[in-house]
């Protein structure tokens, strides 16, 4: 038994988060090496990925290999044509080929055209022109690769460069097979004729991009007698010839269209021509190739060049590089000193009082530099994942199974780690960590699967965001209520004032505020510099920071009310109610007056904190008004809870139920009804706008109901899931880090480290992402000690240094006008 216990202890000794981080670092190094080899061997052109390979994650949904494909609507397609023309480009696209190419032509024209074009089956050339978007789309009937097709390209070459098409989509084989009854001589002639055409592609490369479309497979059993000689074997032979001749030419090979047709060949009506669904996907692939680099859609990374690094990003990279080099140098120096001095000498030196301060200073410098170096390495990984094409990205894909299966699995896993806690208070720390943890895991699954399109799921996630803000109001109100560290003066129970309390409380109050803001904002501020995104892009941290300041100001303004002052004067409770009413009134005025709202939040220099990259306040207003009362609900609940404790209506200092058995059962039923009512509302409201308009008024219902169900029964209140609580402690880092190293393209896609294996990819990227988030949490806590020290002189120095760095950046970016 002792041997088994020793063996178990040895296993758990090595299975810990620090060793997991080492494993994650080795994995990242391995993936960098793997993708580096892939890029060296096959290149990193995402256009080639788009045109070469892909898969069907679900019916009628195409996922290109390694990049994200935007779904172009008619307005998107027309905007693309207009945009290309506006910047001096040309929209002259020509389709050259047989009836299959003609199918694609009509589908393309009908998507970009303002009116539906009649689909003709005549064997003639067809022309389309739209002056509004400066687009000219031609179809040239060339069903055979022969002398006639040769002269098409010869005429392109003889014409003026401005008259040539800038894109040609071509391909042909089935007519050759049909007219020659699948003879071998026809295949040889096809090879000879294509060989004579290929040199023209090279001569046209400066003005015209040639896209050769491989032949789609046929459904042989659906072909009529006149086409029975067209077999997939014959098509494969012709495709092989085209591949051999064009692989190293200046024409691009379009292979993925064949895979699309192959996956949807059952929908073909006559066995030869592909279905409308397959044509739609082919047109989307074409538009992604043609438009993405100009339109810069967030969910369209195929054929889209990465952003160029800004000056601020380069300076930030240089700063972190200096930190990394300095940290390495300090590490080597320390190791050298340790070897030189030995353990005994170090012990003696530690006893010398005169050197203690110097040693602490050196230790602090080392600690800060190592933390910044680690953060720099992590930021390099962030940049590599989401500001380059080094790692691949894929679109999100939602199904009910994709969302609810991992959600159920995570919930069940969390229940297996249920433990007893010695805390008995309502919403004690273990319970709030657990709540934040399972909410965060739900957020991750929601974002990974793109579940926002499903209204009931979207609204339930909105409740979870509101719950986080509710806990913000509850937690900070409770802290200030008990500690009283929010005003410039601390009041005694008898109302007296003392000068020592004044100075002590003022410093503690300021330090508390700055420490909370530092912990909330460090990662986001660094990411703003590294990823070149505005502060509002990471909307959740600005929201929580803003409401924390609101809570602080609400509590700090006169009269200062604390638990101690309320015990000496019952009127203090009334004053707190008045404060709450005034706060709700002010929030409502901000909501009702959009002009007043914009006047306040568009005031410089604070404007930069609330606008997006296009200088719009819309995103902030939307987020603000959606949860405008959530923090107040949390403060009101905390206040009511303190009143109930004060007058001994409830007692949570034991493990029993908060109320008698009948009342506990009644509250449990009401809690279930509250949650069920909100769930019913999410299914009954018509659209997101209607749901969002009502949400802020009723979001307290499911939150309070959950708290009642979770806390009234004593046996449930004193148990928690350590699994969820562990994630809850790093919930903020998880929420922000997912933007770039778990998701991709600023949350619009999914990061791919292992292509073609989506489940394994999610498992490994999740492991790396969680380890990095935990390390960021440790780094933040460590740096907070030095950035917000207890010594007020050091704190003042750090604040001055912060503004000394921030002000030039703000002036350079136009935040502060001179």
**CA distances (Å), origin 301, targets 39, 145, 603, 613, 707:** 16, 34, 35, 19, 43
How far apart CA 805 and CA 818 sit, in angstroms, is: 17
Q: Are strands 167-171 and 209-213 parallel, antiparallel or unpaired?
A: parallel
**For residue 803, what is the DSSP state?**
H
Q: Are strands 135-141 and 126-130 parallel, antiparallel or unpaired?
A: antiparallel
Burial of 764 (0-12, 13-18, 19+ CB in 10 A): middle
CB 623 within 8 A of CB 543: yes
CB 633 within 8 A of CB 547: no
3-state helix, strand, coil in the chain (%, to 5): 65, 5, 25
Q: What DSSP line would sit under 118-179, residue for residue?
A: P---SSS-EEEEETTTTEEEEEEE--SSSHHHHHHHHHHHHS-GGGS-SEEEEE--HHHHHH
Sheet of strand 392-395, all strands in order from the earlier edge strand to the far edge: 392-395, 749-752, 743-744
How far apart CA 799 and CA 788 sit, in angstroms, is: 9
Q: Is the dihedral of CA 241, 242, 248, 250 positive or negative?
A: positive
Task: Outline where DSSP puts E strands in 626-756.
Answer: 719-721, 743-744, 749-752
How far apart CA 540 and CA 547 sit, in angstroms, is: 11
Residue 385 DSSP SS3: helix
The encoded tokens of residue 358 equal 């110097």
How far apart CA 128 and CA 136 sit, in angstroms, is: 6
Q: Which long-range contacts (CB under 8 A, 24 or more apart) does 397-401 make?
A: 397/57, 397/58, 397/61, 397/63, 397/449, 397/450, 398/449, 398/450, 398/451, 398/453, 398/454, 399/58, 399/449
How far apart CA 457 and CA 590 sit, in angstroms, is: 29
User: Which positions ≥6 away from 97 have C-beta within 8 Å?
Assistant: 142, 143, 169, 170, 171, 172, 213
123 is catalytic: no
Which residue out of 125, 270, 615, 791 is catalytically annotated? 270
- Residue 66: name the closest of 761, 607, 726, 769 by CA: 761
Which residue out of 273, 460, 560, 774 is catalytically annotated? 273
CB 69 within 8 A of CB 50: yes
82 is catalytic: no
Instruction: Give the CA dihedral 202, 203, 209, 212, nearest 10 degrees.
Output: -50
CB 124 within 8 A of CB 197: no
Which residue out of 45, 76, 82, 99 is catalytically annotated? 99
774 is catalytic: no
Annotated active-site positions, please? 99, 270, 273
């Amino acid at each position: 038994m002792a041997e088994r216990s020793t063996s178990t202890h040895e296993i758990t000794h090595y299975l810990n988060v620090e060793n997991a981080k080492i494993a994650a670092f080795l994995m990242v190094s391995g993936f960098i090496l793997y993708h580096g080899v892939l890029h060296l061997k096959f290149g990193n052109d995402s256009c080639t990925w788009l045109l070469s390979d892909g898969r069907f994650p679900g019916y009628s949904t195409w996922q290109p290999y390694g990049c994200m494909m935007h779904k172009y609507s008619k307005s998107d397609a027309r905007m693309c044509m207009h945009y290309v023309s506006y910047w001096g480009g040309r929209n002259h696209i020509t389709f050259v080929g047989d009836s299959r190419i003609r199918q694609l032509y009509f589908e393309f024209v009908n998507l970009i055209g303002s009116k539906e074009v009649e689909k003709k089956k005549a064997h003639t050339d067809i022309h389309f022109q739209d002056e509004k978007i400066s687009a000219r789309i031609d179809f040239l009937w060339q069903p055979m690769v022969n002398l006639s097709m040769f002269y098409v390209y010869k005429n392109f070459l003889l014409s003026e460069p401005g008259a040539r098409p800038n894109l040609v989509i071509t391909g042909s084989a089935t007519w050759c097979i049909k007219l020659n009854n699948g003879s071998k001589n026809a295949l040889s002639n096809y090879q000879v004729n294509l060989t004579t055409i290929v040199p023209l592609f090279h001569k046209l490369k400066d003005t015209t991009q040639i896209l050769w479309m491989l032949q789609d497979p046929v459904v042989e059993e659906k072909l009529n007698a006149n086409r029975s000689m067209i077999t997939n074997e014959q098509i494969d032979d012709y495709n092989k010839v085209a591949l051999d001749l064009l692989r190293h030419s200046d024409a691009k090979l379009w292979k993925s269209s064949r895979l699309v047709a192959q996956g949807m060949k059952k929908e073909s009506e006559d066995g030869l021509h592909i279905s409308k669904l397959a044509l739609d996907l082919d047109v989307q692939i074409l538009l992604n190739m043609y438009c993405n680099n100009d339109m810069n859609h967030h969910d369209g990374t195929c054929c889209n060049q990465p952003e160029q690094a800004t000056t601020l990003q380069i300076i930030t990279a240089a700063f972190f590089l200096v930190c990394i080099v300095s940290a390495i140098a300090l590490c080597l120096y320390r190791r050298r000193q340790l070897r030189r001095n030995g353990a005994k000498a170090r012990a003696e030196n530690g006893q010398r009082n005169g050197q203690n301060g110097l040693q602490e200073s050196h230790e602090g410098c080392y600690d800060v530099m190592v933390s910044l170096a680690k953060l720099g390495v992590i930021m390099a990984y962030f940049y590599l994942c989401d500001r380059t094409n080094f790692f691949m990205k894929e679109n999100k894909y939602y199904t009910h199974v994709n969302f609810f299966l991992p959600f159920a699995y995570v919930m069940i896993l969390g229940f297996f780690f249920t433990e007893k806690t010695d805390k008995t208070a309502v919403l004690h720390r273990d319970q709030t960590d657990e709540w934040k943890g399972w909410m965060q895991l739900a957020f991750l699954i929601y974002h990974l699967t793109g579940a926002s399109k499903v209204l009931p799921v979207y609204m339930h996630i909105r409740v979870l965001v509101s719950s986080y803000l509710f806990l913000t109001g509850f937690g900070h109100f409770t802290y200030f209520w008990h500690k009283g560290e929010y005003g410039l003066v601390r009041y005694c129970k008898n109302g007296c004032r003392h000068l020592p309390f004044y100075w002590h409380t003022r410093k503690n109050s300021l330090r508390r505020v700055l420490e909370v803001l530092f912990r909330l904002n460090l990662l986001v501020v660094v990411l703003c510099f590294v990823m070149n995104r505005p502060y509002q892009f990471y909307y959740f941290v600005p929201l929580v920071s803003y409401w924390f300041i609101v809570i602080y100001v609400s509590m700090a303004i006169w009269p200062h009310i604390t638990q101690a002052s309320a015990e000496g004067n019952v009127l203090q409770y009334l004053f707190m109610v008045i404060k709450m009413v005034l706060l709700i009134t002010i929030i409502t005025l901000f909501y009702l007056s959009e002009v007043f709202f914009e006047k306040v939040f568009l005031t410089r220099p604070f404007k930069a904190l609330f606008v997006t990259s296009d200088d719009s306040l819309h995103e902030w207003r939307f987020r603000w008004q959606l949860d405008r009362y959530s923090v107040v609900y949390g403060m009101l609940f905390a206040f009511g809870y303190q009143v109930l404790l004060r007058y001994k209506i409830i007692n949570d200092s034991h493990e029993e139920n908060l109320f008698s058995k009948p009342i506990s059962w009644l509250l449990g039923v009401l809690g279930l009804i509250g949650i069920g009512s909100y769930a019913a509302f999410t299914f009954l409201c018509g659209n997101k706008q209607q749901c969002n308009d009502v949400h802020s008024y009723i979001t307290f219902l499911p939150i309070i109901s959950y708290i009642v169900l979770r806390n009234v029964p004593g046996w449930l209140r004193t148990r928690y899931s350590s699994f969820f609580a562990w994630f809850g402690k790093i919930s903020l880092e998880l929420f922000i880090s997912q933007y770039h190293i778990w998701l991709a393209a600023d949350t619009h896609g999914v990061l791919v480290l292992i292509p073609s294996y989506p489940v394994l990819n999610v498992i490994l990227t999740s492991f790396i992402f969680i380890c990095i988030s935990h390390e960021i949490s440790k780094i933040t806590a460590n740096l907070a000690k030095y950035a917000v020290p207890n010594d007020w002189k050091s704190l003042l120095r750090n604040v001055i240094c912060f503004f000394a760095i921030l002000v030039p950046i703000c002036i350079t970016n136009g935040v502060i006008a001179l």
